[in-house]
Amino acid sequence: MSLHQSKKRLRIIVALAIFACVFVFAEFFPVAQLVGGDINALYLEFGLFLIPYLLAGYDVLYKALRNIGNGQIFDENFLMSIATIGAFALVLFPGSDPHMAEGAAVMLFYQVGELFQDYAVDKSRASIAEMMDIAPDFAYVMKNGELVKVDPYELSPGDEFVVKPGDRIALDGVIVEGTSQLDTSALTGESVPRHVETGEDVISGCINMSGVLTIRATKPFEESTVSRILELVEEASEKKAHTENFITRFARYYTPVVTIGALVIALLPPLLFGFVWADWVERGLTFLVVSCPCALVISVPLSFFGGIGGASRLGILVKGGNYLEALAKADTVVFDKTGTLTKGAFKVVAIHPEQQLKNESKQSSELDPEYLLSLAAHAEAYSNHPIALSIKEAYSGEIDSTRIEEVAEKGGHGVRALVDNHVVLIGNDKLMAEARVAYHDCTMVGTILHVALDGEYVGHIVIADVVKPEAKQAISMLHDAGVTKTVMLTGDRAEVAQAVARDLGIDEVHAQLLPQEKVSEVEKLLAREGKKEKLAFVGDGINDAPVLTRADIGIAMGAMGSDAAIEAADVVLMDDDPRNISRAIHISRKTMRIVWQNIIFALGIKFAVLILAAVGIATMWLAVFADVGVAVLAILNAMRCMKVKK
């Protein structure tokens, strides 16, 4: 709690104590006899109740005057000021019941509600603050044989810095010396430490738990993972949900309407029909107290803020309330298979060279699996595609770059390269068909890479991706959450895609797709969606930015260290666990349920008490409950959005 809030709390506690003493004195002591008459007693009570009123509410009165001067008349400060001043002013009407106690109580309880609101907002910000704490304050660099603290902003790519046990990694980089365990929970929500050693990439924001690490920076601080995440979190509150915007617009019109309504109730019956002024002014004031839209204006944004904060504790970063609201309506979830449902860690599982070549001059050694793998590895030498990396990893020899010329990669097809002055083609059946090379089908489950040498088919290599152990449960959790359709898009062969889909329980599969065709498939799925349903696309942030952008909600998974994923997606899952998709949907739906509970509850109570106030049944005390009581209950309900579990 801030110093300002502490002072405000103390002020309200003192005001409440004074109010309680004055109330007991006025109700249970013969004040009129003590001061010599009812008029004197009335003036004494007026002065005594004015003390806690001004002590608690002077800032509200000041804000109301300041806002009127700025042209902002219809806000909660104005409503509270008019209603409470009016309650005290009723003493001026002959024959009216005094309402100084109610006037002071309205201001006091309003301020208690405001204090409670501040506490709730601070608590909801705590989870965001935990995420904001990932920013490192310093880094150690070696200068003249000594470790010196420097600002992370001073380091550049290529600079080496030292991370002691207990310190945060300041910049993204690669370990050049040391082994350790890293605490990544602030980024991913994962409590199990990650073992790292020399040569591994690490990202900023992680806590070094054991050994001393020397790290070479690969990015400047302003482009590091931690900087991108902090920027995302800071921008999230600016992107309001449609429901938030509706409440803002509603309050803009609601407040002046009920203020005019209160004036009509207070003035017209006495002016037109000669009714008692005091009775109808009291009704108008009660109407004003009830009409304050605090419960809605506070609880709805607080719910979205709490939902976003709660999700961040699980390593789920939602870029704004609008995306949280859209995610709650997700009816179809589309996966790009590689890196989301599978590990994206391809391995060579079989090498099938041709047994006979048309070119009889070839030596028999050229039919060996190792020779076929050598051709493929040299052709893929300059590619960073996961499939290319798996081929190079499987090849036991060294790649001689002097043997390679004229490398051309065609997305969704494969690679053409000149190796030892021979044209080598490696890719899928589309590449073979395009080059008019007759190839053999393979019945093995996996990605089949055909290899041709100078237009002649020389065999194929089978590469398999590993399905994540959590993937099947993730799909089941989505169905349990009410997602009616799960779809998988992949560039793999139909046989491989169908096998994975059957194993995981996915409803619909589209295979052998080029990257641009995935966008077309998503557009077709979007066309089939109703107006109320939303489509979420889940990718790993690599080469699927167009699809992430095109979907109603783009979800990037495993985005630690991936600037592209953080930039393109609406929701960012910092780890590789696909079960977090259903957790994100659960959080969003829980948030929306609470938002609408508060809207219906607050409006229902307020409209009911407004009617009772207009007909003279509702008292000022009931109006206090309809305002402050409803606001406190709505805030308590909104705070449930912050409670999340795996």
- Tell me the range of 35-49, 54-68, 546-560 where mean pLDDT is highest: 54-68
Cα separation, 388 vs 379, in Å, equals 9
Give the chain's domains with CATH numbers.
3-129+237-304+590-642 (no CATH), 139-235 (2.70.150.10), 316-343+467-574 (3.40.50.1000), 347-464 (3.40.1110.10)
| Measured CA angle at 375 (ends 414, 464), to 5 deg | 55
- Tell me the range of 540-544, 572-576, 599-603 where mean pLDDT is highest: 599-603
Backbone angles phi, psi at 285, to 5 degrees: -65, -40
Crossing angle between the packed helical segments 369-379 and 386-394, to the nearest 10 degrees: 140
For 193-202, write each residue's pLDDT tens digit.
888 999 999 9
- The token duo for 545 is 């930015």
pLDDT confidence band for 600 (50 / 70 / 90): very high
Average pLDDT over residues 212-223: 91
Nearest CA among 587, 64, 6 for reference residue 288 = 64
Helix, strand, coil percentages, rounded to 5, for the chain: 55, 15, 30
Spatial strand order of the sheet with 485-489 comes to 316-318, 571-573, 553-557, 534-539, 330-336, 485-489, 508-510
pLDDT confidence band for 365 (50 / 70 / 90): very low
pLDDT confidence band for 646 (50 / 70 / 90): low
User: Please, which residues have CB within 8 angstroms of residue 574's CB and are 6 or more apart in sequence?
Assistant: 187, 188, 189, 315, 316, 317, 558, 559, 560
Backbone angles phi, psi at 107, to 5 degrees: -65, -40
Cα separation, 548 vs 522, in Å, equals 10
Cα separation, 481 vs 640, in Å, equals 19
Indicate if the pLDDT at residue 361 is higher than 50: no
Question: Which residue would you say has higher pLDDT here, 185 or 459?
Answer: 459
Predicted local confidence at residue 125, as pLDDT = 59
For 399-421, write each residue's pLDDT tens digit.
888 888 888 888 778 899 998 88
Query: Quick check: 447 and 465 in contact, CB under 8 A?
Result: yes
Average pLDDT over residues 482-492: 90
Average pLDDT over residues 61-80: 82
The 3-class secondary structure across 377-444, one letter per residue, is HHHCCCCCCHHHHHHHHHCCCCCCHHHEEEEEEECCCEEEEEECCEEEEEECHHHHHHCCCCCCCCCC
Which residues are catalytic, by number? 336
Mean pLDDT of the chain: 83
Predicted local confidence at residue 246, as pLDDT = 76
pLDDT confidence band for 128 (50 / 70 / 90): low
Least confident of 94-108, 456-470, 581-595, 605-619: 94-108
Indicate if the pLDDT at residue 388 is higher than 50: yes
- Tell me the range of 50-64, 295-309, 402-416 where mean pLDDT is highest: 50-64
For 246-281, write each residue's pLDDT tens digit.
777 777 787 788 888 888 998 999 898 888 887 888
Q: What is the CA radius of gyration of the chain?
A: 34
Neighbours of 124 (CB within 10 A): 25
Indicate if the pLDDT at residue 53 is higher than 50: yes
Average pLDDT over residues 67-96: 77
- 313-338 burial, b for 16+ CB within 10 Å, e for fewer? bbbbbbbbbbbbbbbbbbbbbbbbbb
User: Please, which residues have CB within 8 angstroms of residue 54's CB and are 6 or more apart in sequence?
Assistant: 61
- Tell me the range of 10-14, 361-365, 529-533 where mean pLDDT is highest: 10-14
Average pLDDT over residues 32-49: 79
DSSP-assigned letter for residue 220: -
Least confident of 13-27, 224-238, 456-470: 224-238
CA-to-CA dists, residue 327 to 233, 590, 637, angstroms: 17, 11, 21
Average pLDDT over residues 597-604: 90
Neighbours of 512 (CB within 10 A): 16
pLDDT confidence band for 364 (50 / 70 / 90): very low
Predicted local confidence at residue 360, as pLDDT = 46
Indicate if the pLDDT at residue 51 is higher than 50: yes
Query: Quick check: 638 and 306 in contact, CB under 8 A?
Result: yes
Q: What percent of the chain shows pLDDT beyond 90?
A: 23
CA neighbours closer than 13 Å in the CB half-sphere of residue 87: 27
Average pLDDT over residues 498-509: 92
- Tell me the range of 354-363, 419-428, 486-495 where mean pLDDT is highest: 419-428
pLDDT confidence band for 561 (50 / 70 / 90): very low
Question: Which residue would you say has higher pLDDT here, 315 or 568?
Answer: 315
Cα separation, 55 vs 104, in Å, equals 10
**CB-based burial of residue 195 (10 Å sphere; 0-12 exposed, 13-18 middle, 19+ buried)?**
exposed
